[in-house]
Chain A
């Protein structure tokens, strides 16, 4: 026993510097990530009175969350956010990065301009789009369309397209980050490969197909998974732009969780829905780490 304790003490003594370096991060991780997650999961198994666990309820909160009639609608809405974001938002940053990479003049100017929306405070960005989409003549889009005799359109008020329009605003806000990632990757491609391809008579499309894409496929795959993970948690956008409406048409799992937790005071269900989202996202996260390792091994 003493021998073992000695080993432990010497282990800590030997690595004292390392432990000291780690300590601030461990403290931050503990308070910001580990403790909330562990407690959140434990409390999701309890009947809650506001933020106080009252009695053990097993999986009751989970059952209540997934059997509510709107759960499937909200889940499908969330999937739609992800799908639309992949349709609308996955390729544009790549194409923009490729265009900037080919530019001779004003390259930095374009980069900064395209990155600008990313540094605008999120809520401001979404409110700008709220007014762009405003459904009467005061909305920017309706104003422009009125010049050519069209509209007014309902935009966010039209439940069939609300998610698509929110996704467009999300893409505008966030594509700068992905664009920079792709741009950095493009900059890392050896120019001699393009020169060799040109000498072999490859067209622009063939150069993209046979030189660019193979070298970007890893980062594209990572961005793809990261986008799914990020968009699956969408919350602020429907909250700021539509309050989840019309009639729940843009309510996402994240916004529903917010409603449970902070509006209707159903903390147990909020924690359980958080658990459900965690379960879904952990699959994508594991996938992401496996891919990330493969990409890193290949580079």
Chain B
């Protein structure tokens, strides 16, 4: 009996290994079916908007059927779905994952078709680097943003940190940020600023601070191997700055375990005056009913060595099991919904509808993020005009950030190229240690992190 069961189990396991292969051809009733990810799951302005777009698109393209898929990119579910071949044909992902997606082959090579349709020549070159590998392009960029400082204008007013023209004062250096935070705390009794510390977000936002202090986290050797290079006085000084925010200036919240959600909740509920953030902050804080008129955005300050900011954003990828017809359909959909450089009447309508939806949701309108298409393209001019015409808060509050986005004196740097999440996790630990332990030695922590990063991550990568 036992032998029988063992045999049956073994056979079942063997059969199962072969199971789960293949995916739908995406062709039904002679129509091309295109599944589109991040489809709104709940009733509301966003779903109405998307449904209208789908109906309009299908009317114009009777040979294509759009099917919404409510899956939203997250690292936990992405890889199982990618391997199982169950990703939506068209899905969104963050630039942070671009390297892994391209390396894993989970996104279609779009180089040829992108050249044919003119995308290739119209993409902002900085963004093109992020979505390309070996000269081939694997995604269509959706949005891009650079980090700056978000501030609570009301707190700035109380602390006397507003200019006569209604713009918030721009701290020029990180030390000035600390001074501003001290003034905010003195005027409002609330922490002047917050820094994230957990779930790799602390490390992520620490990197541009460290770059501005002159830190290079890693270096590719001539033999192609990577070397950790941040056991330096510059990195120690950057970590000492974070430590000083807590123990010298005392401007941080008591909670020292702050992940992404907690970080924006702290700002969105008006518990702090300043946070480091990108221009997409309205989507993170509108749920807390943050008064749009209190939102200010400033350029990232300079460090002792560089004036540099971090590039972020999201892109559209086409799953590698999509057919040629689905690729074609996906790009048509992106054109139709105004996600490419082509400014057709449909694209204008889609952009108008997207903006109307954001206004209905109560989001701040006025921040001009970095553009994924070249700045002289019609689509960029149209988007900027839309924002100017529909701004729902004092434009002066975000003016300095909008100007900084196109300021050539501020360097724009993409994320660290290798083992970035592992690096962030190590830096999270360093930040948590200096914020919870007054006697923590930044030099020792940085040396340990550098050694661990080399031994446990880069050496294995090499």
By a beta-carbon cutoff of 8 Å, the part of chain A in contact with chain B is 8, 11, 26, 30-31, 34-35, 38-39, 49-52, 64, 68-69, 134-136, 152, 154, 156-159, 242-248, 259, 262-265, 267
By a beta-carbon cutoff of 8 Å, the part of chain B in contact with chain A is 4, 8-9, 12-13, 16-17, 75-76, 79-80, 82-83, 100, 103-104, 197-200, 253-257, 259, 419, 421-422, 425, 428-430, 432-433, 435-437, 452, 456, 460
Closest to B77 in A: A262
CB–CB A135/B256 < 8 A: yes
CB–CB B17/A264 < 8 A: no
CB–CB B75/A262 < 8 A: yes
- Contact partner of B75 (CB less than 8 A), chosen from A11, A157, A158, A263, is A263
Chain B contacts of A39 at CB under 8 A? 13, 17
Q: A38-B13, A51-B80, A243-B259 are in contact. Are A154 and B429 (CB under 8 A)?
A: no
Q: How far is the CA of A265 from the CA of B80 in the complex (A)?
A: 11
- Contact partner of A243 (CB less than 8 A), chosen from B16, B104, B199, is B199
Q: A11-B4, A51-B79 are in contact. Are A263 and B421 (CB under 8 A)?
A: yes
Q: A156-B257, A263-B75 are in contact. Are A248 and B429 (CB under 8 A)?
A: yes
CB–CB A35/B16 < 8 A: yes
CB–CB B436/A264 < 8 A: no
Chain A contacts of B198 at CB under 8 A? 242-245
CB–CB B104/A154 < 8 A: no
Q: A11-B4, A247-B436 are in contact. Are A136 and B254 (CB under 8 A)?
A: yes
Q: Can you name 12 A-B pairs with beta carbons within 8 Å? A: A30-B13, A50-B79, A50-B83, A69-B452, A135-B255, A135-B256, A136-B254, A159-B436, A242-B257, A248-B429, A263-B200, A265-B100
Closest to B201 in A: A243
Chain B contacts of A265 at CB under 8 A? 75, 79, 100, 421
CB–CB B421/A247 < 8 A: no
- Contact partner of A245 (CB less than 8 A), chosen from B16, B103, B257, is B257
Chain B contacts of A152 at CB under 8 A? 254
CB–CB A30/B16 < 8 A: yes
CB–CB A68/B83 < 8 A: no
Q: How far is the CA of A262 from the CA of B100 in the complex (A)?
A: 13
Closest to A241 in B: B257
Chain A contacts of B256 at CB under 8 A? 135, 154, 157, 245-246
List the count of A-B residue pairs having beta carbons below 8 Å apart: 100
Q: How far is the CA of A263 from the CA of B104 in the complex (A)?
A: 16
Interface residues of B, dominant DSSP: helix
Closest to A250 in B: B257
Chain A contacts of B429 at CB under 8 A? 245, 247-248
Residue among B100, B435, B436 with max Cβ neighbours from chain A (10 Å): B436
Seed contacts A50-B82, A51-B82; 5 additional CB < 8 Å A-B pairs: A26-B8, A39-B13, A154-B254, A159-B437, A248-B429
Q: A245-B257, A262-B76, A263-B75 are in contact. Are A51 and B83 (CB under 8 A)?
A: yes
CB–CB B79/A157 < 8 A: no
Chain B contacts of A267 at CB under 8 A? 79
CB–CB B9/A157 < 8 A: no
CB–CB A34/B13 < 8 A: yes
Chain A contacts of B197 at CB under 8 A? 245-246
Chain A contacts of B12 at CB under 8 A? 26, 30, 34-35
Chain A contacts of B437 at CB under 8 A? 159
Distance from B132 Cβ to chain A, minimum over Cβ atoms (Å): 20
Chain B contacts of A11 at CB under 8 A? 4
Q: How far is the CA of A243 from the CA of B425 in the complex (A)?
A: 11
Closest to B104 in A: A50
Q: How far is the CA of A49 from the CA of B106 in the complex (A)?
A: 11
Distance from B265 Cβ to chain A, minimum over Cβ atoms (Å): 12
Closest to A11 in B: B4
Closest to B445 in A: A247
CB–CB B257/A34 < 8 A: no
Chain B contacts of A248 at CB under 8 A? 429
CB–CB A136/B253 < 8 A: yes
- Contact partner of B432 (CB less than 8 A), chosen from A31, A154, A245, A264, is A245
Chain A contacts of B103 at CB under 8 A? 49
Q: A35-B13, A136-B254 are in contact. Are A246 and B433 (CB under 8 A)?
A: yes
4 closest Cβ contacts across the A-B interface?
A: A136-B254, A243-B198, A51-B83, A50-B79
Distance from B75 Cβ to chain A, minimum over Cβ atoms (Å): 6
Q: How far is the CA of A263 from the CA of B419 in the complex (A)?
A: 11
Distance from A14 Cβ to chain B, minimum over Cβ atoms (Å): 12
CB–CB A264/B83 < 8 A: no
Q: How far is the CA of A262 from the CA of B255 in the complex (A)?
A: 26
Q: How far is the CA of A52 from the CA of B197 in the complex (A)?
A: 32
Q: How far is the CA of A295 from the CA of B203 in the complex (A)?
A: 52
- Contact partner of A64 (CB less than 8 A), chosen from B16, B80, B82, B460, is B460
Q: How far is the CA of A243 from the CA of B430 in the complex (A)?
A: 14
Chain B contacts of A245 at CB under 8 A? 197-198, 256-257, 428-429, 432
Chain A contacts of B253 at CB under 8 A? 136
Distance from A158 Cβ to chain B, minimum over Cβ atoms (Å): 7
